[in-house]
Structure 1
Amino acid sequence: MSANQTDPMIGRLIDDRYQVRSRIARGGMATVYLATDLRLERRVAIKIMHGHLADDASFKERFIQEARSAARLAHPNVVNVFDQGQDDDSAYLVMEYLPGITLRELLQDHKVLTSEQAMDILEAVLAGLAAAHRAGIVHRDLKPENVLLADDGRIKIGDFGLARAATANTATGAALLGTIAYLSPELVTRGVADTRSDIYALGIMLYEMLTGEQPYKGEQPMQIAYQHANDTVPSPSSADPSVPAELDELVLWATARDPEQRPRDARAMLDQLIDVQRVLADPTGAPLGRTMVLPPASATMVLPRGATGETQALPKARHRTGPVGPAAVDTAAELGHAARRRRRRGFVWIVVVLLLAVAGGGAGWWFGAGPGSQVAVPDVTGQDPAAAASVLEAAEFVVAPDNAADFSVEVPTGQVIGTDPGSSSRLQKGSTVTLVVSQGPQPLDLPTVVGQTEDAARASLSSFAVQDSTTQFDAADPGTVLAVSGVDATGAAVDLADTAQYGEQQPVTLTVSLGPVPDVVGQTVEEAQAALQAVELTGVEAGTEFSSDVDEGSVIRADPQQDGPVRPGASLDLVVSKGPPPVTVPDVTGKTIDEATAQLQALGLRVSYDRCTAFTCAFYDWEARLPVLATDPPAQSTAARGSTVRLSYRVE
């Protein structure tokens, strides 16, 4: 029997809105299901907290708080959060459904990815994580299982905040082993984490994508945790020599045991990754500088063939011989001359050593603390230009008088995007650095989507961040786009009907028709209220009126209680008919019965009178000649339409 058949959640209706269809995945803290949002008629992924965690009030509270934090993120590389609520004793989270696979499944199928594939995936993950870090959110559980690869090519990060909410009792066995493979040393040893802990996990993931295996292995989670805390992650090329040196350096930078030696956040690592991609894409360009270990000084000496480098006994000096025999060389004059030569050579060497010491010390001062020293360019992203300039000047850089400008989706207008050279660069003190200031999102042509279906409009607006649509009742067909709105520079909502251009990835909200308000005219109050409730409207009985067209007790009309469009949840006033309005009885005295009857019936009144006897009317055409003496009700009084007026007459 399959897991879906035994899972009691399958087929369940959550919060009268989400119909659970099938199970997608199960983790240590929650299970993810595929569900249908019956209200908006779309597929969603719904994550439901395990029942055994329901008694942990702090867990539930942090689960809800982190869900709200994740919902604030609006980024193409982050899974959107639509809703959050409570079902019985378990909290649930509603997210967008992305048909596809996880990075873990991709690695299981292909084991090793190419450098280009690994960099493409890492770039998307870093872009989404940079948005989270900028919003003050630390993921704390980055791993291939939480990277989603959609069928349409999109790459998104999921499960924001669940690791933060987890306790020591929420994951054991295989679940703990899968997570601990990506834990940073500071999380293992001190239980603390910040943005640099996420960077460490990404470094481990990049290593795994490039080599097909994790750097640390062990049968027990504690063995892996010990290696994270005490060992240095090896370079990927040690397992696969085809890995470029630039990616080796990126992995080693991201997985440094000391958090201070890692990238500050995802934005800093993303900037470096882009530089690496640029270098690898241009094989003719200058390679990155590499640190070289010079051989020891003794290795530069040339020894005689057969020499071993050990201490050797040199042969004794030979005497010069001539035709008359050996000549002595140990005379007093020659010995004194040799001594003077040795003293001169010693003095020269002392001078040389002193000069070298002075030169070495000067060079050390120049490059270590003097004008020739190199320092890293500070990261001033997100600061205003004046504050950024102060930071750079404090680091002994010269700030260019004119700022550069560029478009940015993430950095607000007027704030610093970065510097040129970038913050990862090392420059000599006194070098000129240019601030790059954000012009805000790049203006793009805004397509006209009013009148299209919602799906077609979303496809046309793919360059913008399309939010959840608002709905209202309208004469247009259901699903038709009625209006498009966005935000201005202050964040206030604005109508985009007459806007030709709008910022890239800025929020866009569609107003979509639900069709007309149900026609309840002629229905009873109970029938009208039921028809309105079926479309999330409320009918309130609000008075009566006379009506010649609607029967008494039936609804004449449904009026909205507020001006403007009618949206789900609105209340409508139901006006009920009192029947036809009353009429004034005309004065028909003196007219014949025939004339009076015609006049009264024309007003919707009935007529009655006593028939005359055969004796009384024997010699008269009574309907034409008998005059009316009075009416009941009397003339000028009111009577309901359809009521009867009685005529009195006399026989002449």
Structure 2
Amino acid sequence: MIGHDLSGRYEILSRIGGGGMALVYKAHDVLLNRKVAVKVLRQQFVNDEEFIRRFRREAQSAAALSHPNVVSIYDVGQEDDTHYIVMEYVEGNNLNEMIQERAPLQADEAVRIAVQISDALDHAHSNHIIHRDIKPHNILIGNNGRVKVTDFGIARAVTSSTITQTGSVVGSVHYFSPEHAKGINTGEKSDLYSLGIVMYQMLTGRLPFLGESPISVALKHLQETFEDPRFVNPHIPQSVENIILKAMRKNPSERYASAHEMLLDLDTCLRPERLNEPKISFADFHDMEETRVMPAIRGDAGMSSTSAGRERPDPKAAIASDTGKWMEEEKKSQGWKKPVTIVGVTLLLLALLIAGFVWLLDKLDPEEVDVPYVVGLSIDEAYKELQENGLRVEEPLIREFSKDVPKDHVMDQNKKNMKVKANTHIQLTVSDGPELATVRNFVGQRFKTVKEELLGLGFTEDRILVTEEHSEEEADIILKQTPADGEQLDPEKDEIAFVVSLGRETVEMPDLVDESLSTARKMLSTLELVLDEEDVLYEPSYIHEKDKVISVDNFNAGDRVPKGSNITLRVSSGPPADAKKYTFTVKISPAVAGKSSEVRIDYSDATGENITGETRTITGTVDIPVTVVLAPDTVATVTVYRDNQFMDTREIRYEDLNGSGGPGLTIPGEETPPPSDGGGDEGQETAQAGVDEGNGETEGEGEGSGGE
């Protein structure tokens, strides 16, 4: 089974226990994402239809129990020949393991455990469910100290075919009540007897009755007394011993009247004024059904002279013998006097006796009546119909959940389409309507998780209504629910509505890169986003001008941002302190004098690669200033194109910028006559780098590109 997905929902993880009827596994419920315990019926019982029917019926009855000290039953199902029950998984040990390791337990701990078991039994008995198999193996102790009683109703399912299976009775016979051992119907007080034995074992570390076989132990429950608990463990308070003695009385009428009465006694038994109370006493009780050794019945004719000689004279036999002799003598003395009179009187008396007997039978034998079919009628209508036909309704009614039969209407009857004696009791099974689910408080939980739980209870998606709204809660959190906590719903008919948070209202994050800081503030304020002064981070930049936004740290452009969110900006403080700007002039003429040419100047520097700095149309010789920015240990390049043809390029090194300037570029036209020797010096001087309109001053600052 380990590794198997039972019914496609329960993933079997490991085996955690087992008994004569079933094996118990730890499993994972993949639908509700929780750990569960799965009890699987042993294979030797899968063909016993009567057992399976009772097994499932009683498991469903136990599922109706809802108590903190009862292991909850979640599901009952079948996959092929595998019958299983899914129940609450309790992290901890069972009481039997605790007794084996630590017994005898302290009185206060044993009483605390017994109180919780009694509380569970009180709840079960009030719901007409009798455990019938209370023993330490069926008592789970969670790691938090909570006591959980398991296997409610399962012991009821044991039939005659299972009582003989090895292990199915041996494990429980030490906790049988006397009436259980007799094989008669057991009631609520049988569970209290078993609880008394559990307390005895917790406080003494031993069982009250031991034997070589289950039968011998069962006989001891019927016939023998047990050692007082205080004789085994003198540290047990007298008040606690009194509870054990009363719970373990062989006569059920001398035990506690109910689990609730025993619970009240346990609640007060450790109070100081009760610890040394007198030992409880009971009147002598002789069970007429108890097993006795009786003398053999012997007839005189079959006795030998030797054995007859050893028999003690029986006074009654002697009297009978004397009486017989007297009657024989009397008969001889009277002879045959008045025989006709004696015979006549005898015949008359016999005739009268027969006539009276016939008359009495006629009076005692009630008439037969037809049983009306009341299935589908309401309870009141069924009562009326049966009573009008001279029949009675057996109490209590059997009540079961039904999806198809309305509440308080008859689902089934045990006798139908037949004749029965008048005043016969008819057992009715009445509908409790569909099994309702109690709504708990889902507010504050994630809707996705709650939805899976509701689907597991039988709700469909169209009956789980959702309204979404913005709130301060994060998205998918349930804000409201209708109906409220504690109400009951039919999962197959009723609706449940939720208001679910969408989180805070969001806006689209704008692209703020290269926007001025003041413009960015206005844009963010319009969108109800917050920009605090401490969230403005300045840093130098070769690319972005001073007070321009470099980036948004915590969001990207286009992101959905909740209103009221804080935004962090990185803003340019201008070029670094060690950056240098350098401006020089490009003197260029048209390709053909008197005609126009297209001029393009590209440059690369610390601000970027292959930047188009200047594009213009010229018809004569012009001076075009070009400004570049350099970082330490870098080189800037300036490239000139005329009419889309490469003309020349110039490199500027950071370390060459010592303030003395450097040569510019001169690009003459193709048909322009070359300058004379004297004019060459003049032209070179005009194109001197850093010269502004021939004034010979080197610029330390300038525009980002020439001509602007």
Q: TM-score, normalised to structure 2's length? A: 0.42
Q: Of the two, which has the highest radius of gyration?
A: 2
TM-score w.r.t. structure 1 length?
A: 0.46
